[in-house]
Structure 1
Amino acid sequence: MDFTYYGHSCFSVVLGGKKILFDPFITGNELAASINIGSIEADYIFVSHGHADHTLDCITLAQSTGAQVVCSWEIHEWLNKKGVPNTHPMNTGGKWHFDFGTVKCVVAQHSSGLPDGSYGGNPMGFIFITDEINFYYSGDTALTLDMQLIPMFAEIDLAILPIGDNFTMGIEDASEATKMIQTKKVIGVHFDTFGFIKIDHQKAIELFRSKGLELILPEIGETINTP
């Protein structure tokens, strides 16, 4: 699976020949100034919750790419009103079979207000179960015992977790989440973008390593091929 990082919690993966973008927030991120959103292609856009740092470029990219947006019911309605008709609403506990594999929505402990102040529905995480890889993207979340359920749904090869603290899990909690998920490899997101979430990269990597875990901190614009 090719994983490309666009900064903050925005990334894309290629699965089954489909390009899947997550939580598009690029133009509002000073650290991602080198990214040209006009060059981004997507067949699907997955949105974990409504906050602007996860939805800012969703409408623009959905319209320019024609991608189907997968999101909560409330975000689906909001996007439809904003001129994005190609949406697929989901909610926590549900799953759907897409042409690249199966996605199950799971609990994320966070909040979810949309940029205009309206309600964004339940924040969600996503488990992707595919022929190539099984991975879990938690979205913005606190450490929660609900993560113990994830290995019941799939054997997870890779987890993509927020690690910046203050608004989400920090490094210590993310390492505990990794053990609950029963995986060994994590790609960290939701760090360094703002002063509230700056981290010590080496300290974070070493903490994970001390627990027998691997933490990858991608550079913005970097593509990683990972099983």
Structure 2
Amino acid sequence: MAVTVRYLGHAAFVIEADGKQVVIDPFLTGNPLAAAKPEELSPVAILVTHAHNDHVGDAVAISKRTKAPIIATFELGSYLASQGAEAIPANHGGTVKFDGGSAKLVPAWHTSTYGDTFAAPGVPAGFVVRFGGKVLYFAGDTCLFGDMALIGEEGLDLAVLPIGDHFTMGPADAVRAVKLLKPRVVIPCHYNTFPPIQQDPHAFKRDVEAQTEAVCVVLAPGEQYTLA
């Protein structure tokens, strides 16, 4: 089955298969590159990697409207539930089933705070998503770490990796991550939204395809790729 991956800007994605939609890190309101409005999305599940505002984004509002559960680490999921969202709190190593697929929480090296008071509900995560017969890895915000090799053993059809530097790994470390993960396809994210994370994704694409066997697909906000 084909899975359509649509980039909404920054680190926000929508994946679709078999008439079902999953949203990842839906930072849309306040995102200068946002390619969709929250009310346009009708997911069966919402995956949130960590508590920073540029990843939680509109997750609570979308969940309240659609009743889609937010899957996140335990403390963050519990906090978002207290804000009125449907939520399934989980933790690293755990797999949560949703309508049409599943999401396994895996480590990410980053921080995780929410709001202007810097409340710290839990730790960050990435997701290995099984959906539409494909295996997709959303790294969230992270630096390079050696256990990406273990994540690669999941047999990844797609890896979505941050390349912005400053707050996450930059392009050079992201290429090293591709070497560990060994996905068929790579899509970069978390770049060019704000001045500190300006990058050339096409240079990243050239380096990935010169140094690994992966195909790198650069998507502008609003564009999509079909993973056959």
Q: TM-score, normalised by structure 2?
A: 0.92
Match of 2:105 in 1: 105
The aligned amino acid for 1:68 is P
* Cα distance in 2 between the residues matched to 1:171 and 1:200: 9
Q: Report deviation, 1:188.
A: 0.8
Counterpart-to-counterpart distance in 2, 1:201 and 1:129:
26
Q: Which string of whole-angstrom CA distances, capped at 9 and with x for unpartnered residues, describes residues 113-146 of structure 1? A: 0124211212001112345211111111000011
Equivalence for 1:26: 28
Change in Cα spacing, 1:117 to 1:13, as seen in structure 2 (3 Å) is same
Supply the AA of the counterpart residue of 1:114.
Y
1:125-176: per-residue Cα shift (whole Å, max 9, x none)? Answer: 1112345211111111000011111133x21111011111111111111111
- For residues 1-227 of structure 1, what are the structure 2 equivalents within 5 Å? 1-32=3-34, 35-84=36-85, 86-115=86-115, 116-130=117-131, 132-152=133-153, 154-212=154-212, 213-227=214-228
* Cα pair 2:188 2:201 within 8 Å, conserved: no
Report the RMSD for the aligned CA atoms in angstroms: 1.6
Question: How far apart, in 1, do the equivalents of 2:219 and 2:163 lie?
Answer: 13
1:16 positional shift: 4.3
Alpha-carbon displacement from aligned partner over 1:83-108 (angstroms, at most 9, x marks no partner): 11x21011111123333233221110
- The answer on whether the counterparts of 2:186 and 2:215 sit within 8 Å (CA) in structure 1 is yes
Gaps of 5+ in 2: none
Q: Deviation string for 1:55-103 (max 9, x for gaps)?
A: 121111111222111011111221122111x210111111233332332
TM-fit CA distance, 1:110: 0.4
Partner-residue secondary structure (3-state), 2:173 = helix
Structure 2 CA distance, aligned partners of 1:148 and 1:158? 14
The letter of the residue matching 1:62 is S
With over 3 angstroms needed to count, the CA separation of the structure-2 counterparts of 1:59 and 1:102, relative to structure 1, is: closer
Contact 1:68/1:87, CA 8 A, preserved across alignment: yes
Count of residues paired in the alignment: 224
Q: CA deviation at 1:223?
A: 2.1
User: Does the CA contact (< 8 Å) of 1:92 and 1:122 recur in 2?
Assistant: no
Conserved 8 A contact 1:140-1:168? yes
Runs of at least 5 residues in structure 1 that lack an aligned partner in the other structure:
none
Residue 185 of structure 1: CA displacement? Answer: 1.4
Partner Cα separation in structure 2 for residue 181 and residue 100 of structure 1: 24
Counterpart of 2:197 in structure 1: which amino acid?
Answer: I
SS at match of 1:30: coil
Deviation at 1:23, TM superposition (A): 0.5
State the AA in 2 paired with 1:24: P
Letter in 1 for 2:147: D
Q: Calculate the TM-score normalised by the size of structure 1.
A: 0.92
CA distance in 2: counterparts of 1:51 and 1:225, whole angstroms = 29
SS at match of 2:176: helix
